[in-house]
Every structure is written in structure tokens, then in C-alpha cells.
Structure 1
Amino acid sequence: MISDADAAALYDLLNPWDPGHRPEDRFYNELVMAADSVLDVGCGTGAMLIRAREQGHHGRLVGLDPDRAALARAQRRTDIDWIEGTAAQADRVDRAGAGFELATMTGHAFQCLLTDDELRSSLAAIHASLRPGGRFAFETRHPRARAWEGWNPSNVLDFEAFGRPLRLWHEVDSVTADVVTFDGTMATPDGTVLQADRTSLRFLDVAPLNAFLAAAGFEIEAQYGYWGGEPVTGAGAREIITIARRVR
């Protein structure tokens, strides 16, 4: 079996934070380095904020996540505040009381907000955590690209970790309205299952997403369909990359 601590370490192995080579990481890194205070909602193992400190960020950095094992891994860096909690609790972490200049949700974490109520409460809390004029940057997969169609066992990933070969694959269980539920399985090459997880993600389209943001007191500053600044309305848009500003 795979322990929670091992799963957190595997996440970093399979998803290395690398602004030098990954355009999505570079996009966020530039925003973070330009902001004097940052709240990373759904920070996971904290790779983005840790890299910012390593690059010389001297401002206030706070990571928020409900996953204790991921936070335990993040806490190897002690000059960043790591707080256990959900996006709907983002308004409770501003110990300085000044409001953050920037809030982020990376790694498609925004798609874990499945219901309208979760979206409203999370956006309200993130809005409250920001100072007036503060910005919220995040991405969600564009439903037009139908990314889930590639989540199938034929796209198995073989890799090595903990001194042994491992195999990871996904399989979609259901697509209901704008929510996709799929299973992720990690096993040895002979098929011995070590970990099986079920995940649901919401694929909001541009118009309903922007309506939720407006209702929460945000205005759209910029929106892109991919990391090179492609239009979100373009035929090849794979993401809805959003920078929203608090306006009230």
C-alpha cells in the first residue's frame, strides 16, 4: 500500500514545480514574485511558495490546504505559514489583517469545488482574504477540450519510485452535467494494486464561471485559453486561465 506521506512525495515526483521549463509554473511564478503577499489556496506540498522563497521573495507567503500529509511535507520550509483548511476558510488565515495582494489556486484545484454552494462560499472567502484591488489567479480545464476523454487505461504511466517500478492509470466512471468522476489506480507492473482513489472534478464553462466571479465581487482582468496567452474563446482553448480583481 501507499501511505499518505508517500502519496504526497509521489505528487512532487510526478508534478515537479519548474518555472524554467513549464509555462503554467512560469505564469504563476511571475505573479507570485511580483506580489508582496500571497495566499496559495490548495497549496498541496507547497512547491510554488517554497520556490518563491528560494528565489528571494521576502513578503508574506501563506499556504492553505485540507490535506495534512501534503502540509506535513510543505512544513519542511518554516519561513512560510502553512494552514490546514479549505478554500471556504480562506478568510480566516489573514493574521496580519491587511489582506493579501494575490490569491492563487494552481494545479486545477479550482475544479474540486463541485457544487454551486461550494463555489459561492469559497469565492466569498477568497474575496474576503484579499485587500481591495487584490487579484485572484487560477485555472480550470476548458470543457470544450474534453480532457477527460484522455483519462483512460491506455494512457498508463510507468515510472520508478521508492526503488521499484510503479504504474499509474485513470479511468472515467461518469460524466454528469459538468462533473466528471474518475478512478486513479497505482499498481506494480504485475497488476498488484497499491492505491485506488476516486475523484470528481467540475468543468465550468466561461460564462457560468464569470457569473460566479461577478456575484462574489470580482471583475475579470484577464482570461486566456492557454499558457501562451491564447484567447479563451479560441477553437484550441484547453484552459480557462483567469486573473480576477476584487472590486468591492
Structure 2
Amino acid sequence: MPTDDPRSASGCSDAGFTDADAAALYDVLCPWDARRWPGDAFYEPLVLAADAVLDVGCGTGAMLHAARRHGHTGRLTGLDPDRASLERARRRTDVEWVRGTAAEAAWDAEFALAVMTGHAFQCLVSDDELRASLAAVRAALRPGGRLVFETRHPQARAWERWSPEHATEVVDVSGRRLRVWHETLSVRDGVVTFTETTATPGGRVLRRATTALRFLEPAALDALLRAAGFTVEAVYGGWDRGPVTAESREIVAVARRP
């Protein structure tokens, strides 16, 4: 998967490269750092200002870990279906970690803020999954609570750069040198299916996983949010809070439960 996405849907691994290794590698590829990454800087003050935060698709929990380090004293809850990622997240015990999907969330008006970072929103592929997930997240928010997330704008055609020629070379937490790359398999009806491959520098494949992501146009996204009972407060074309334009690569949405 592209390194700004939180998880793979399925995969196979070499015996020497476990699911736990993959989760640790994600933190190397995508460290949470509001000083370096504009997206992290966008979310961090929102999280620190909210007394109860639900991180949907929390992955390894890096954002919530950072919130505690920076002094958040309220409720922090991370939700993710991936067991290995949550095991890594649970290194911090002063955060509530829940295994499950967005559609399975069963909280009732408990949170001031829900976020989906790292393009986690795009992992909701089907219309039914999107509707069920938005309904569950809305129910988890208090009246006036907000859902904030980003999704890649389809016009940027990000998948065209997902190829072995754009591999990332990295040293993982155990000191292994690795190459990670992505290959687009299909683009159909707004859904992009691709593989993520982790290999040694010599080319021995350690892990290959297949993922599908949904790319929604702004009008379709707006319609889904409103149908789920949200009021759309803002839609930005980037982390600088500017409008969506013909050059935008991101759609950043802020929706409120009335």
C-alpha cells in the first residue's frame, strides 16, 4: 500500500517477516510528526483541543501516542481491525484500544471528535460499507461533534505513481535494509486495487499484500456525508485550508453531527 495508508487488506509473508514486522515498518515509513508533515500539523491541534477523541483506523496508534505525550488528559480511543497494528499501539496503556471496523462501532454520543487520518477513509470501498461506517461514526459523536478526515482527490491520479520505479528504500527497526513498492492492478468505478511488496535489496520478496481504495469525487463525498446526517462545515483542497481547485491533490473534510 502507499505509505500514507494505514493497512493492507490481505497478504502473504515470508516466515522471517511477520505481521508484527509489517506494523513496525509502517511506523518507520510513516512516523507521526507534526513538525515535518502538514497533515499531522492539521490534525494535532484539533485532537489536543477535544476532550474525547475517536481515531478510526488508528493503525499503530502513533497519533494518539503523540497526543498523550503532548499533554492530552481526556479520553483517547483508537479503533482498528488489524491485530498486529493494535498490539503495537497497546505499548501505550493510557489509551483505549478497540479491535473492529468503523461500521462495527457501537458508541453512543461519547466523542467530541472523530478522525480518520492517513487516508483511512479510502479503505471504505463499497457504498454499503461507507454508509454503515458513517452512520456508526455519527452515532459515536455527541451533538455538535465533528468528523475530520482526508481522501485523495481522483483528479490527481495518485495511483499512476504506484509502481516499482518509485520504490522506497528503508532500514526497519531490526536494522534490515528493505525496499517497499506498489503496483496498480486495476482502476474501475473509482476503486483502485494494488499490491504492496516488501523485499530485500536483492529482490527476495518478504511480504506482498493486496489492497483496494475508493477515490470519491467531491460531489459524491458531500452527498454521502449529508445522507448520513452530517452537516458539512468545510471542504478543503489541502492542508493549508484553501479551497478545492483543479490542482488539488487532497480533499480534507470537516463534518458535524447537528
Smaller-chain TM-score range? Answer: over 0.9
CA shift for structure 1 position 181: 0.5
Task: Tell me the SS of whatever aligns to 1:44.
Answer: coil
Asked whether the 8 Å contact 1:35–1:102 carries over to 2, the reply is yes
Distance in 1, matches of 2:72 and 2:181, equals 37
Distance in 1, matches of 2:65 and 2:200, equals 32
**Out of 108, 111, 117, which is 1:106 matched to?**
117
Q: Please name the residue that 1:181 is paired with.
A: 193
Matching residue's letter, 2:145:
G
Count of matched residue positions in the alignment of Structure 1 and Structure 2: 242
**Out of 223, 227, 237, which is 2:235 matched to?**
223
Say if 2:45 is the partner of 1:12: no
Q: Please name the residue that 1:141 is paired with.
A: 152
Asked whether the 8 Å contact 1:170–1:184 carries over to 2, the reply is yes
Say if 2:135 is the partner of 1:124: yes
Matching residue's letter, 1:119:
L
Asked whether the 8 Å contact 2:109–2:143 carries over to 1, the reply is no
CA shift for structure 1 position 98: 4.9
Asked whether the 8 Å contact 2:159–2:184 carries over to 1, the reply is yes
Say if 2:224 is the partner of 1:209: no
Structure 1 residue runs of 4 or more that deviate by more than 2 Å after TM superposition: none
Task: Tell me the SS of whatever aligns to 2:92.
Answer: coil
Give the structure-1-normalised TM-score. Answer: 0.95
Matching residue's letter, 2:125:
L
1:6-155 pair list within 5 angstroms: 6-90=21-105, 92=106, 94=107, 98-155=109-166
Distance in 1, matches of 2:241 and 2:120, equals 20
Task: Tell me the SS of whatever aligns to 1:20.
Answer: coil
Matching residue's letter, 1:204:
L
RMSD value, Cα: 0.9
Mind listing any 5+ residue stretches in structure 1 that lack a counterpart?
A: none
Asked whether the 8 Å contact 2:109–2:139 carries over to 1, the reply is no
Mind listing any 5+ residue stretches in structure 2 that lack a counterpart?
A: 1-13
Give the structure-2-normalised TM-score. Answer: 0.92
**Out of 196, 200, 204, which is 2:212 matched to?**
200
Distance in 2, matches of 1:12 and 1:72, equals 13
Distance in 2, matches of 1:49 and 1:188, equals 31
Asked whether the 8 Å contact 1:230–1:237 carries over to 2, the reply is no
